[in-house]
Structure 1
Amino acid sequence: MFIPNLFLAVPRNPVTALGLPLALGFLVSAPPSSKPANSNWYHNLNTPPGRPPREVFPFAWTLLYLSMGYASHVAVKALDDSTSVADRDDLSLGITLYYAQLGLNCIWSPIFFEGRKPGLALVDSLLLTGTTWYMTRVLDRPTSATTTYFLLPYCAWLAYATYLNAGVWWLNRGGSEGNAQKPEE
């Protein structure tokens, strides 16, 4: 599997490996418009049991972005050192999946908060969670489980976040989500 050099160069350096997901996460969670998470629309949504206080999210996501970034660094270093064709194939696939999940991660907030489409955000969340679990599985053996230690908390959080997203969609499917397309007044 061919991976462009830029996609290998970024995680090859531990600083840029950690910085890329952190910077992207910051950019998509801090849109230039007013904070969507503070909108009346968001606060009026029915939510499932177990939603943490909103102050937890920035802290949790910062740790998860750093963790996934470091896992990408470990995967690229393993690719650089690997002589096994099977390992190189798995590592290449894993790195490709890393960028795919990063893209899916980046579009969730705009879909949910700015687009006000919890159903579409749920589809994204399901794809993100599935891609990340598969990436974790693919990278496990060729990195001697090192990436798994960094990615399992992310996988668990994504499962939890998908539960929250599904709950919001389900609890608001006939009411608030139907009004979600109207701009705030």
Structure 2
Amino acid sequence: MTAYIPSITLPRFLFEQPAASIILPVAAGAAVGYSTRPDETQKTYRALRQPPFHPPAWLFGPAWTTLYALMGYTAHRAWSIGANSVNPATVALAKQGATLYTIQLGLNLVWMPLFFSLNRPIAAAVDIVALGGTVGYMAYVWGQVDETCGWLLAPYLGWLSFATYLCVGAGYLNNWDLKSAKSAKSAKSAKTKKRN
């Protein structure tokens, strides 16, 4: 069971201020997305063999932006309700959730570089499974602070389940070797262009 660990938890003001709570994950997610070069990420996504029901690459940006804003709002709500409670157990749960929130945000933000920049699908799969478990536990903890907070994290958990399927599916279908899959697709495209 994870406890409240102040040294690894985001500062209180990021939970107390609604704008900061929402802007932080949206801005951090956008920064990671742009740092991994969206044009290269989309090329990689299209080059890989994908499992059935994979969405178009353009869908990920709007989906993650919405989920980041929702998780930020949930963090603010859970902290505000929990920190202002007269029940010490509720206060402790709100703080414990804040530590879990910080951990899950870190796990979330490292997935994209692991998968797309470093071409480490096994590490990315381990990361996303750990992320799903952390978010599930966070939903349980913050759901005890405020039931609505638990439910607000349901879309995030649903998307993470789907993203885990996509991550593991793409890893498996490409023999857990993304570099070779991208190289093979580039070579095939070059041959096709020469023929035309």
Pair in the same fold by TM > 0.5 = yes
Amino acid at match of 2:91: R
- Return the alpha-carbon distance in structure 2 between the equivalents of residues 98 and 72 of structure 1: 7
Q: Which residue of 2 aligns with 1:131?
A: 134
* Alpha carbons of structure 1 residues 130 and 2: separation in structure 2 relative to 1, 3 Å: closer
Q: Which residue of 2 aligns with 1:20?
A: 24
Amino acid at match of 1:97: L
- Return the alpha-carbon distance in structure 2 between the equivalents of residues 104 and 66 of structure 1: 17
TM-score of the superposed pair, with normalisation by structure 1: 0.89
| Structure 1 moving runs of 4+ over 4 Å | none
Q: Provide the identity percentage.
A: 35
> Contact conserved, 2:114 with 2:120, CA < 8 A, in 1?
yes
TM-score of the superposed pair, with normalisation by structure 2: 0.84
Q: Which residue of 2 aligns with 1:168?
A: 170
**Higher helix proportion:** 2
* Alpha carbons of structure 1 residues 32 and 117: separation in structure 2 relative to 1, 3 Å: closer
Unmatched tracts of structure 2, length 5 or more: 188-196
Q: Which residue of 2 aligns with 1:7?
A: 11
Following TM superposition, by how much is the alpha carbon of 1:178 offset from its aligned partner in structure 2, in angstroms? 5.8
- Return the alpha-carbon distance in structure 1 between the equivalents of residues 25 and 179 of structure 2: 32
> Contact conserved, 1:74 with 1:146, CA < 8 A, in 2?
no
Following TM superposition, by how much is the alpha carbon of 1:75 offset from its aligned partner in structure 2, in angstroms? 1.3
**Matched residues, number:** 181
Following TM superposition, by how much is the alpha carbon of 1:149 offset from its aligned partner in structure 2, in angstroms? 2.5
- Return the alpha-carbon distance in structure 1 between the equivalents of residues 181 and 126 of structure 2: 17
**What value does the CA root-mean-square deviation take over the aligned residues?**
2.2
Which of the two has higher C-alpha Rg? 2
Following TM superposition, by how much is the alpha carbon of 1:3 offset from its aligned partner in structure 2, in angstroms? 2.9
Deviations 1:43-68 (A, max 9, x none): 22111001011121111111100100
> Contact conserved, 2:15 with 2:76, CA < 8 A, in 1?
yes
- Return the alpha-carbon distance in structure 2 between the equivalents of residues 107 and 160 of structure 1: 18
> Contact conserved, 1:117 with 1:180, CA < 8 A, in 2?
no
Deviations 1:15-42 (A, max 9, x none): 0000000000000011175633133x43
Q: Which residue of 1 aligns with 2:100?
A: 97
Q: Which residue of 2 aligns with 1:45?
A: 48
* Alpha carbons of structure 1 residues 178 and 114: separation in structure 2 relative to 1, 3 Å: closer
Q: Does 1:179 align with 2:180?
A: yes
Unmatched tracts of structure 1, length 5 or more: none
> Contact conserved, 1:75 with 1:139, CA < 8 A, in 2?
yes
